[in-house]
Amino acid sequence: MRKSGFSQFLIFMLPALILLSTFVIYPSIKTTLQSFVDENGKITFKNYKDVLTSRDTIDLSGFSRGFPLGTLLHNAIWIAIHLPLTVSLGLILAVLLRKVRGGNILKSIIFLGMVMPMIIGGVMVRFMFDGNLGVINAFLGLFGFESKTWTAYPETSLFSLIFGSVWLWTGFSLVLYSAGLETIPRDFYEAAAMDGAGPFKIFFKITIPLLKPITVVVVTMTLLWELKIFDIVYVATMGGPGGASNVLALQMYTYAFRELNTGKAAVVAVLLTTLTITASYPLIKGSSDAR
Amino acid sequence: MRRLVLMVTLIILIGVFLFSKTLTVIGPWSGAEMDKFTPVLEKFEKEYGIDVEYRIYRAEDLANILPAQFAAKKTLGDVIFMWPWFVLNQAKKGHVIDVSDVIDESKYLPGVLDNVKMNGKLYGAAYTGKVKPGFWYRKSFFEKHGLSVPKTWNEFIILLEKIKGIPGIKAPIASGDGVGWPLSDVTEHFIITFGGPNIHRDLIAGNIKWQSFTVRNAFEKLTSLLKKGYFGEPTEWTLVLKQWWNGDYGLYFMGSWITGMVDDPNDLGVFSLPGNKGIVFGADYAFIPKYTKYPEEAKTLLKYLCGLEGQTEQVKQGGHVATVKNVPLIAYPPVDREVAKLLEGVEALFDLDDSIGGAFQTTFWDQLKLLWVRPERIDDVLRTFDEKMK
């Protein structure tokens, strides 16, 4: 009986195992091995040394001189700004639109950014901040500000991309939080209101704590998206000017397809994989705890 | 009987479909540029009886796709136009066919095939080229505002100042952006003018540092103009072309293909920076991947395209300069003859970033975007160039 159970387990697992081995495990191992192979085919740590000491990756002199600061720090800045903005905006909008008439239509409109291909999103971000055609300049022009292409300057290019992409991702957190809000029993709110709790107290003491599992998912998924951000940057600025908006995924692409150096590209891939696994740990842990 | 005829016809049709040879040519030209390339391919089809299909791929995209395709022993096309450094890079890995037997080097301009030559073998051929002669202006714009072509650096500055003073002008010189190469073209012109053709060659060969005095001096000439606001904000190069044509800018540094992109090429005038002794001549290079199904037919096509026949047909369309010798001058449209005149007495030089290629090329483009908006960071930019040359 036990034996047949194991055979059944194997039969059901086999297709998934084959696919995972072919498309995930083998490429991952191969990439990791590749990261230790230099241009001459020798096993070495040179690629790691080159990438991790490169100004492309970390450039601390940027703090006194101005951007770029290196791809690793750019990704960190992206996370530091984009993550709280999209998560909090999604939550606030979900709460506000919950009881508003036509709220679902508004949610659908906000969610459009999420279903749009990120390449198109990148083009739109580029145009939004353009000096000739941009909506941002048109708006700022109302207050007398001079028109400029925000993505063309090292001080503003990264921030333009970060702020410009908030609307692309807010739909994700909005939809998840909206679904999460529906799972909170109304009794909790009614009991709190009877006890004299105001809307803010209810929000902070009931809504937020009960949405914690959703928040873990939203934060983790957003973090992963920010770590592997590529398409928007590629289309809008190509990481420029002077690397001021470059990110890890684009650095990997440049090593692989411009420098044709697969070893260095593999190092960035390993770095990215390590960071994403670390970032997704709370989600994995959360799901195993729930079980 | 009817059935039999139908069967035979069907078999013939299937046979034709299965065994007909259609060569695929991959190039970067689309729109107006493609319209000028199509007649060249049509002539080949007519004369050689081989069908050709043209597909558009930017070199930047090919750089992503081809290495993976070649690793899988496959190819997207039979004849592919691509950067020369990339061709040699792939040739080193054994992915490119040696075409020394069909391309006669003595029939080409001296040195033009050096970029695709390795160990005495040719792995590609030069098609027509485009020159990057200098600053283009509208003759009507100059006449309207009483402007004249400068003969000295001081006159050039005075011209820029005059243009800056014209009402409605955004900046005297339009700055093309997008992929990055338009800024590199104008920068190379400054390097050649103020450093000399040899410095340009030495930079390609890696014999001189970007932070050296001579190179820095050439860059300082450029940054002095940037600091004074003579160059406009980098704007997508086809968009700014229209703006320049409409009078938002006075000058635009661009290659000779501009003649095919404006409404009235006869209204175009061009001048190099005073004292310039060299002009970048950027040829297009084509190669045959090892994995083509029709190597002999592909060689025939390459020989035709890069030979006298194909190049003569191409220069007739305008905006191109032949790399093969003996193309009759009469084949060139009048505006291209004016461009050809600029080449008299100056040295023709390879495109710097196309020759070096690799990571340097994208870094060069990207750093120049930075220099354009922050000219005071010249030292940082030059240092980065030196780092990427290693």
Q: Mention every residue, 6+ apart, whose C-beta is less than 8 A from residue B62.
A: B26, B76, B80, B82, B86
Instruction: Answer whether B259's CB lies under 8 Å from B232's CB.
Output: no
Among partner residues B359, B369, B374, which is closest to A258 by beta-carbon distance? B359
B175 near A CB under 8 A: no
- How far is the CA of B378 from the CAs of A70, A152, B372, B385, in angstroms? 19, 17, 10, 11
Residues B372 and B249 in one domain: yes
How many CB atoms neighbour CB B174 within 10 A? 30
- Does any domain span residue B160? yes
Q: Please, what sign has the CA dihedral across residues B219, B220, B222, B227?
A: positive
Q: What is the mean pLDDT of residues A211-225?
A: 92
Residues B232 and B380 in one domain: yes
**pLDDT above 70 for B18:** no
Phi then psi dihedrals of residue B109, to 5 deg: -60, 140
Q: What is the mean pLDDT of residues B310-325?
A: 89
Among partner residues A131, A149, A154, which is closest to B370 by beta-carbon distance? A154
Mean pLDDT, rounded, of chain A: 91
Residue B5's pLDDT is what? 72
Q: What is the mean pLDDT of residues A182-199?
A: 91
Residues B239 and B318 in one domain: no
Gap from A238 CA to chain B (nearest CA, Å): 8
- A to B CB pairs, distance under 8 Å: 74
Residues of B in contact with A131 (CB under 8 A): 233, 235
Most A-contacting residue of B374, B381, B383, B387 (CB-CB within 10 A), to test interface = B374
Nearest CA in chain B to A65: B377
Using pLDDT thresholds of 50, 70 and 90, give the confidence band for residue B14. low
Residue A190, CB-side half-sphere exposure with 13 Å CA sphere:
3
- Does any domain span residue B259? no
Mean pLDDT, rounded, of chain B: 91
Q: Is the ipTM of this complex over 0.95?
A: no
Q: A77-88, pLDDT tens digit by residue?
A: 999 999 999 999
* CB-CB under 8 Å, B362 with A254: yes
Using pLDDT thresholds of 50, 70 and 90, give the confidence band for residue A249. very high
Residue A215's pLDDT is what? 93
Using pLDDT thresholds of 50, 70 and 90, give the confidence band for residue A90. very high
Residue A159's pLDDT is what? 97
Residue A66's pLDDT is what? 92
Q: What is the mean pLDDT of residues A139-144?
A: 90
Q: What is the mean pLDDT of residues B351-373?
A: 92
Using pLDDT thresholds of 50, 70 and 90, give the confidence band for residue B17. low
B184 near A CB under 8 A: no
Residues B248 and B368 in one domain: yes
Residues of A in contact with B381 (CB under 8 A): 242
Residues B198 and B121 in one domain: no
Among partner residues B243, B361, B370, which is closest to A241 by beta-carbon distance? B370
Residues of A in contact with B380 (CB under 8 A): 65, 242
Phi then psi dihedrals of residue B118, to 5 deg: -145, 130
Residues of B in contact with A148 (CB under 8 A): 233
How many CB atoms neighbour CB A73 within 10 A? 19
Using pLDDT thresholds of 50, 70 and 90, give the confidence band for residue A113. confident
For residues B105 and B123, give the distance between their C-alpha atoms in angstroms, rounded to a whole number: 12
Nearest CA in chain B to A130: B235
Residues B123 and B146 in one domain: no
**Which range has highest mean pLDDT (A129-133, B58-62, B254-258, B295-299)?**
B295-299
Determine if residue B372 is left, alpha or beta; phi over 0 gives left, psi from -120 to 50 gives alpha, anything else beta.
alpha
B69 near A CB under 8 A: no
Nearest CA in chain A to B175: A152
Q: Where are the domains of chain A?
A: 45-61+69-290
Q: B169-195, pLDDT tens digit by residue?
A: 999 999 998 777 899 999 999 999 999
Q: B35-59, pLDDT tens digit by residue?
A: 989 999 999 999 999 999 999 999 8
Q: What's the CATH code, domain A45-61+69-290?
A: 1.10.3720.10
Among partner residues B359, B373, B381, which is closest to A152 by beta-carbon distance? B373
Gap from B313 CA to chain A (nearest CA, Å): 33
Q: What is the mean pLDDT of residues B151-179?
A: 94
Residue A291's pLDDT is what? 53
For residues B142 and B150, give the distance between their C-alpha atoms in angstroms, rounded to a whole number: 12
Can you read off the two tokens belonging to residue B272?
Answer: 């190099």
* CB-CB under 8 Å, A242 with B384: yes
Determine if residue A188 is left, alpha or beta; phi over 0 gives left, psi from -120 to 50 gives alpha, anything else beta.
alpha
Most A-contacting residue of B370, B386, B388 (CB-CB within 10 A), to test interface = B370
Residues of B in contact with A258 (CB under 8 A): 63, 358-359, 361-362
B67 near A CB under 8 A: yes
- Does any domain span residue B231? yes
Among partner residues A153, A242, A259, which is closest to B358 by beta-carbon distance? A259
- How far is the CA of A4 from the CAs of A149, A202, B356, in angstroms? 67, 54, 64
Decide the pairing of beta strands B121-122 and B117-118: antiparallel
**pLDDT above 80 for B2:** no
* CB-CB under 8 Å, B366 with A242: yes
Range of the domain at B217: 134-254+357-389
* CB-CB under 8 Å, A241 with B359: no
Gap from B120 CA to chain A (nearest CA, Å): 24
Q: Is the pTM of this model over 0.80?
A: yes
Q: What is the mean pLDDT of residues A201-219?
A: 92
Q: Mention every residue, 6+ apart, whose C-beta is less than 8 A from residue B124.
A: B82, B84, B87, B96, B99, B116, B285, B286, B287
Chain A residues whose C-beta is within 8 A of a chain B C-beta are 55, 65-66, 131-132, 148-149, 152-154, 238-244, 254-255, 257-261
Residues B313 and B176 in one domain: no
Residues B300 and B180 in one domain: no
**pLDDT above 70 for B365:** yes
Q: A172-185, pLDDT tens digit by residue?
A: 999 999 999 999 99
Most B-contacting residue of A260, A264, A268 (CB-CB within 10 A), to test interface = A260
Percent of residues, chain B, with pLDDT higher than 70: 97
Q: What is the mean pLDDT of residues B363-374?
A: 95
Residues B52 and B181 in one domain: no
Using pLDDT thresholds of 50, 70 and 90, give the confidence band for residue A257. confident
Instruction: Answer whether B321's CB lies under 8 Å from B129's CB.
Output: yes
Residue B155's pLDDT is what? 97
Gap from A257 CA to chain B (nearest CA, Å): 5
Residue A35's pLDDT is what? 95
Residues B224 and B315 in one domain: no
Residue A146's pLDDT is what? 86
CATH of the domain at B34: 3.40.190.10
**pLDDT above 60 for A1:** no
Nearest CA in chain A to B234: A152
- How far is the CA of B137 from the CAs of B171, B269, B298, B375, in angstroms? 13, 5, 41, 25
Maximum CA extent, chain B = 88
Residues B71 and B102 in one domain: yes
Among partner residues A148, A241, A260, which is closest to B369 by beta-carbon distance? A241
For residues B279 and B271, give the distance between their C-alpha atoms in angstroms, rounded to a whole number: 11
Residues of B in contact with A239 (CB under 8 A): 366
Residues B197 and B312 in one domain: no
Q: What is the mean pLDDT of residues A41-61?
A: 93
B residues 346..375 contacting A (CB < 8 A): 358-359, 361-362, 365-367, 369-374
